[in-house]
Amino acid sequence: MEIWINPACSKCRSAIGLLDAEGAEYTVRRYLEDVPTEDEIREVLTRLGLEPWDITRTQEDAAKELGLKDWPRDASARDRWVRALAEHPKLIQRPIITADDGTAVVARSDEAVRDALARE
């Protein structure tokens, strides 16, 4: 499994702590440094079963500068949203765990981390 994190994020640190406590094997991806491509973002969205606007941190300065709150949230705008996430990775909700069974979770709670662990 892989976990996308921002080390400055308390939810990310909590998720890592729980993974370590459970003895999980995982790879850390610091997604602000190792920025996901548009294709990687699309793949994670498919695994999550979500749309790009569902994993966008809309309160970030970049979101406000881009005017994301006014962007359409439909299929016609999907690529625009994905491109914005790739160009501004700080907008991506965190942490995201990609599980070994091909699914993924936004692991903002201990329950979500445990859900990812159960999918190994």
Which positions are annotated as active-site residues? 9
Beta bridge partners of 106: 96
Beta bridge partners of 96: 4, 106
Any alpha helices (H) in the chain, and if so which ranges? 10-21, 38-48, 61-66, 78-87, 110-118
With beta carbons less than 8 A apart as the criterion, state whether 66 and 74 touch.
no
